[in-house]
Chain A
Amino acid sequence: MTQTITLWSHDSGPNPWKVAIVLEELALPYETKFVDLHKEVKAKPYTDKNPNGRVPAIEDPNTGITLWESGAIIEYLIDRYDTSNSLTYTSFPEKYYCKQYLHFQSSGQGPYFGQAAWFNKYHPENVQSAKDRYGAEVKRVTMVLDTILNGKEYLVGDKCTYADLSFVTWYQLAPYITGDTKIDFKGDYPHYYAWMERLTARPAVKKVLEDKQKATSG
């Protein structure tokens, strides 16, 4: 019997929900605990779990491990619990291609979409050149994915893997965070768009996006 894993999360930030999608897909028991980003996340006891003072982090009583960084957590969950390889490959070279796209997501999509969000939504002044810079990077990343997905249903092999799923939560925010940079995702990036529709139609993804919606509005 697998014991309940704790996921330290936040209602609207995309990265904890990226981990929740993998937990749901693997049908693992987990409990979400929300951390207050103003009061709790940069102070003990939370920084004992994640010295970087960010969400997500997980605690897994089945192994006694505490981990942070959403990409590292996903690799752990897959290694440990995806025993039937439903979301991954053990074959070569697919195993490494999955890692490649996860790293592309964590270092190429997340940080730049995050900066677009900052300059479009949170920064008190209008810094047009910064909005343009990060809006252009959102387009470039999407163009790279669109090119890779031309003629393919998923990034690696012929099935959905954790690499595909890792892109979902930032893209859910894309129309909101790109503000003035109007991007026609459906018209300009059709392969990307069809892929995202395919991913968000999955029951586990749907459930997590609904949970996130409830958490944000609640």
Chain B
Amino acid sequence: MSSTEKTPNINLYTTQTPNGIKISITLEELGIPYKPHKIDISQNTQKEPFFLAINPNGRIPALTDTFSDGQTIRLFESGSIMQYLVEQYDSVHHKISYPAGSRESYEVNNWLFFLNAGVGPMQGQANHFFRYAPEKIEYGISRYQNETRRLYRVLDQHLSTSSSGYLVGEKCTIADIAHWGWVAAAGWAGIEIDEFPHLKAWEDRMLARPGVERGRHVPSPHRMKEMSKAEMEKHAQESAQWIQREQAKDAKKE
């Protein structure tokens, strides 16, 4: 890696979700400037041509930057965006990453993929069956809530043995940041965080970081921690109506 870092010119396309705030928290932790653009999922902005040109998968987050060759780079998938940001902008001070090729750098990847391929998709399915599905399917709810609990137990057990209180080595890394928004939204999936004391302590430790506090409110206020159960249910009903309408539209396209 070069010892100098280039000047960022970052546009972040995001919305208030666990995957969106991963990126704003990463940027805030690194202390680099960026321009947030709110993507209005309820207006299907993520399916518009300008957005699909950045991410053909039609999902947030996505990010553009001016690359070292002077050309624009377009990135999607939160995990790959995080890897890009630390390689480009954290190669000198290693605030939230470890040197490329080090043992710790590969261990960070273990947990980054664990979140992106495990916790995120499974907790997302728990949200679907618990909050949004048009019919109540007990089996679907318990399958994905139980899998989320299992993954939380793996995290809880691992954190119980960590001397720093973070997932890898002696500091907070992108592995921790990737998890935070999902764990903070446990209640939305119907999971009681109190069942996982080490994970709960880690969640609070993360929240005490100024970068997390700033980044979690991008592009709009993060309200997961203050919503009551009744408020969550009201919000979920509104979301469910919209999601079911969109699914019906998508089904007609096939």
Query: For the side of the interface on A, what is the size category?
Result: 35 or more
Q: Provide 29 A-B residue pairs closer than 8 Å at the C-beta atoms, listed in order of the A residue.
A: A51-B154, A67-B106, A67-B107, A69-B110, A71-B113, A71-B117, A72-B106, A96-B73, A96-B83, A99-B80, A101-B77, A103-B78, A104-B76, A106-B79, A106-B113, A106-B116, A106-B117, A107-B79, A107-B120, A108-B57, A108-B77, A111-B117, A115-B125, A118-B143, A129-B134, A136-B251, A136-B254, A139-B254, A148-B56
Q: Does A69 lie within 8 Å of B117, measured CB to CB?
A: yes
What is the bound-complex CA distance between A112 and B254, given in angstroms?
18
A75 interface residue (CB < 8 Å to B): yes
What is the bound-complex CA distance between A37 and B75, given in angstroms?
37
The 6 closest A-B CB pairs, nearest first, are A111-B121, A72-B109, A69-B113, A103-B77, A107-B116, A103-B79
Q: Does B116 lie within 8 Å of A79, measured CB to CB?
A: no
Minimum Cβ distance to chain B for residue A19 (Å): 12
Q: State which residues 85-100 of A face B: CB under 8 Å.
A: 92-93, 96, 99-100
B249 interface residue (CB < 8 Å to A): no
Q: Does B113 lie within 8 Å of A76, measured CB to CB?
A: no
Q: Does B114 lie within 8 Å of A69, measured CB to CB?
A: yes
What is the bound-complex CA distance between A102 and B79, given in angstroms?
10
Known: A71-B109, A93-B67, A104-B57. A112 touches B139 (CB 8 A): no
What is the bound-complex CA distance between A70 and B76, given in angstroms?
20
Given contacts A69-B113, A93-B67, A100-B80, 12 further A-B contacts (CB under 8 A): A67-B106, A70-B113, A71-B117, A79-B101, A92-B68, A92-B73, A96-B73, A102-B80, A133-B128, A136-B250, A144-B56, A144-B58
B99 interface residue (CB < 8 Å to A): no
Minimum Cβ distance to chain A for residue B186 (Å): 18
Q: Does B57 lie within 8 Å of A99, measured CB to CB?
A: no
What is the bound-complex CA distance between A104 and B122, given in angstroms?
15
Q: Does B73 lie within 8 Å of A93, measured CB to CB?
A: yes
